[in-house]
Structure 1
Amino acid sequence: MGKVVGFELSSQEPEKAVNFYRNVFGWKIAEPQWDYWTATTTDGEDKSINGGIAKGPQDFPHGTRIQIEVEVIDDAIEHAVENGATIVREKMEFEEFYLAYLNDPTGIGFGLIQNKK
């Protein structure tokens, strides 16, 4: 079975996206190479995935929504909005988790997920 092993966030404003993900989620972002910033979201001891942020081409200027697991979804939503995010869909409750959809300041959509303990 195929599994997600990384991600790429495309944006026409990649520096703004880099600052957002670094400030809101504490990602370690490398210096750019070829308009691509490598993003590290794990210390190697958990099951997180790593990926990058890229300047998207004109025919796909921004995209790729990912799910970001957080400890407290309400706090994460508040912090994201304080840093320029907009809420696309408010927090929803499911049997095993909470989920919300937001757009970062550059228009990239992402999901926040909090597992119920």
Structure 2
Amino acid sequence: MNRVIHFEIHAGDPERAARFYGDVFGWKIEEYRLPGVEMEDENRYWTVMTGPEGEPGINGGLMFRRGRPAPAGGQAVNAYICTLGVADLDASLARVQKAGGKIAVPRMAVSGIGWLAYCTDTEGNTFGMMQEDESAR
């Protein structure tokens, strides 16, 4: 079976996006630099560490958006949606809003599995968050 091993977030302002994901989820995001090489903006790249090695999950990258403008509000999703497991969905939703993101689809029950919500980051990208709770109805 083929598994997802890396993700990339496209951003009009990668440094703003890095602050957002660091503030909301505590991710460690650092610009990748080759010694002695100056990169043009369109080629700059940030590594995204979502958690410790050895724990379930994947890491990714952050880069300048290319080819298209940021998604408009209400526009159909034109990418994979990553859903993040969170311990407290309500607290996570509050952090999203405090960091400049928006709630796209409010908290809803996924019966027998947990609570799910969708948000947009500061760059207009959609992502999901789920709090496991088998009693969700």
Instruction: Using structure 1 for the length normalisation, give the TM-score.
Output: 0.90
Q: Match for residue 28 of structure 2?
A: 28
1:42 aligns with 2:51: yes
Cα RMSD (Å): 1.7
| Alpha-carbon distance in structure 1 between the residues aligned to 2:80 and 2:25 | 17
1:69 aligns with 2:85: yes
**What is the number of residues matched between the two proteins?**
117
| Alpha-carbon distance in structure 2 between the residues aligned to 1:37 and 1:60 | 20
Say whether the 8 Å CA contact 2:29–2:48 is kept in structure 1.
Answer: yes
Q: Match for residue 13 of structure 2?
A: 13
Q: Which has the larger radius of gyration?
A: 2
Which structure would you say has the larger RCO, counting Cα contacts within 8 Å and 6 or more residues apart? 1
The Cα of 1:47 is off from its aligned counterpart by 0.4
Q: Match for residue 62 of structure 2?
A: 53
Q: Percent of aligned positions with the same letter in both sequences?
A: 32
Structure 1 residues 61 and 79, CA gap change in structure 2 (3 angstroms): closer
| Alpha-carbon distance in structure 2 between the residues aligned to 1:86 and 1:39 | 21
CA deviation digits over 1:33-54, x for unaligned, max 9? Answer: 4321000012113101100111
Gaps in structure 2 of 5+ consecutive residues: 34-42, 72-78
The Cα of 1:3 is off from its aligned counterpart by 1.3
Gaps in structure 1 of 5+ consecutive residues: none
Stretches of 4+ moved more than 4 A in 1? Answer: 60-64
Say whether the 8 Å CA contact 2:85–2:131 is kept in structure 1.
Answer: yes
Say whether the 8 Å CA contact 1:98–1:116 is kept in structure 2.
Answer: yes
